[in-house]
Amino acid sequence: MSDSFVIKTPCSSANIGPGFDVIGLALSMYLELHVTVDRTNPSSSEPLNCKISYEGEGEEDISLDPQVNLITRVALYVLRCHGQRSFPVETSVHIKNPIPLGRGLGSSGAAVVAGVLLGKECGGLTHLDDDRLFDFCLMIERHPDNVGAALYGGFVGTYLKPLTPEDVARKEIPLSEVLPAPAGGVDTGEVPPEPPLGIGHHIKFRWAPEIKAVAIIPQFEVPTHKAREVLPAEYSRNDVTFNLQRIALLPVALGQSPPDPDLIYLAMQDKLHQPYRQTLIPGLSEIVESMTPASQPGLLGVCLSGAGPTILALATSHFEEIAENIMARFKRQGIECGWKLLEPAEGTTVTRA
């Protein structure tokens, strides 16, 4: 018997200014996995029974080895936690990826969510509901904002449950044990650590239908781990209070229809991550400080998308003008950009023909 299905996962913009590691917005650009499992084949010549093909962003760099590729490694993690050492004979996964890598649009979050769903579907693990899949995602991508948005869709707030000391230890297991490095084609037989139950939670916020997202995408990458290394370990009380005041406003401001530009502009300010990431993204502070609803018609607010370098401008009109304006500011720093008009998106879907 053969089985074919498509997994479709949106990209995401995390933080939306003050919501560092909390807020995520799923957006209308989708990673797709076109999967066929041909169980009629008695055996497979592919490593781990899985053949990968790939088109789109990162085509030259992304590995087609199922032990190395992030999506299939994540799927293998889910399978191995359930006593299945490899993909079913014979699995083929065609990856279509329009999400630019390392730009702050949640490409890795989408890859992790799609990988977890791939493991569930290939393993016939129908008992795993979305909340349990979220736990698996959090063992790999350890900030919940991108994976929460990509899995559940829409505009979400994410939070982690206080865990018992034993569960904390399990959740903090080094990533290398969750996703072991390729062992030269040899299956070591090790069973990876299962996630604790109910680590991650989410809540959906309203999104005013007039608000669209303009993503201005510079032509250089900032790996998320590097953009986290530049953040301080401690913050001043004033800076924390500044962000708390804005995070209390943000979901309300972005849900109100018609939108109030001054309120949204204020609600999107941040002092916890953007000022530090300026060192990696020339022009960031100037863009965030100078683009206001008073100076730019249609604009509601501007922030760094995720860990950057993409800039997210929320707006109700004048989308192209806003994008051109921000691209011109990057150009003065010698940085070329592309841009996309995006809308809030549904979460991950699995479709069978």
> Which residues of the shown chain bind ligand ADP in the complex (CB under 6 A)?
31, 62, 69-71, 95, 97, 101-109, 111, 223-224, 306-307
User: Of ligand LJ64HWYM, ligand ADP, none, which one does residue 95 interact with (CB within 5 to 8 Å by kind)?
Assistant: ligand ADP
In the chain, DSSP finds a helix count (H) and a strand count (E) of 12, 11
Nearest residue to 100 (alpha-carbon basis) of 156, 209, 27: 27
Considering the complex, state which of residue 80 and residue 271 has its C-beta at the smaller distance from ligand LJ64HWYM: 271
Nearest residue to 200 (alpha-carbon basis) of 241, 162, 250, 254: 162
Q: Is 143 near ligand LJ64HWYM (CB under 6 A)?
A: yes
Helix (H) or strand (E) holding 287: helix 284-290
Pairing outcome for strands 200-205 and 91-97? unpaired
Among 8, 80, 212, 273, binds ligand LJ64HWYM (CB under 6 A): 273
Residue 212's CB: how many other CB atoms inside 10 A? 19
Considering the complex, state which of residue 58 and residue 275 has its C-beta at the smaller distance from ligand ADP: 58
Nearest residue to 90 (alpha-carbon basis) of 44, 134, 59: 44
User: Of ligand LJ64HWYM, ligand ADP, none, which one does residue 71 interact with (CB within 5 to 8 Å by kind)?
Assistant: ligand ADP
What gap in Å lies between CA 238 and CA 244, rounded to an integer? 10
Q: Is 10 near ligand LJ64HWYM (CB under 6 A)?
A: no
User: Of ligand LJ64HWYM, ligand ADP, none, which one does residue 20 interact with (CB within 5 to 8 Å by kind)?
Assistant: ligand LJ64HWYM
User: Of ligand ADP, ligand LJ64HWYM, none, which one does residue 31 interact with (CB within 5 to 8 Å by kind)?
Assistant: ligand ADP
What gap in Å lies between CA 153 and CA 162, rounded to an integer? 24
Selected range binding ligand LJ64HWYM among 101-109, 205-213, 264-272, 339-347, rule: CB under 6 A? 101-109
First to last CA, the chain: 15
Q: Which two tokens stand for residue 352?
A: 């069978």
Smallest gap from Cβ 288 to ligand LJ64HWYM, in A, equals 15
Considering the complex, state which of residue 100 and residue 298 has its C-beta at the smaller distance from ligand LJ64HWYM: 100
Among 47, 88, 106, 218, binds ligand LJ64HWYM (CB under 6 A): 106
Q: Is 142 near ligand LJ64HWYM (CB under 6 A)?
A: no
Smallest gap from Cβ 59 to ligand LJ64HWYM, in A, equals 20
3-state helix, strand, coil split of the chain in percent (to 5) is 35, 25, 45
Smallest gap from Cβ 73 to ligand LJ64HWYM, in A, equals 17
Strand ranges for the chain from DSSP E: 2-14, 23-38, 50-56, 91-97, 155-160, 200-205, 212-218, 299-304, 311-315, 337-342, 349-352
Q: Is 122 near ligand LJ64HWYM (CB under 6 A)?
A: no
Residue 168's CB: how many other CB atoms inside 10 A? 12
Please list every residue from 281 through 320 that binds ligand LJ64HWYM, using CB under 6 A: 306-307
CA quadruple 133, 9, 222, 217: dihedral sign: negative
* Contact code string over 14-33 relative to ligand LJ64HWYM, x by CB under 6 A: xx----xx------------
Question: Which residues of this chain interact with ligand LJ64HWYM, rule CB under 6 A?
Answer: 14-15, 20-21, 104-106, 108, 143, 145-146, 224, 227-228, 273, 306-307
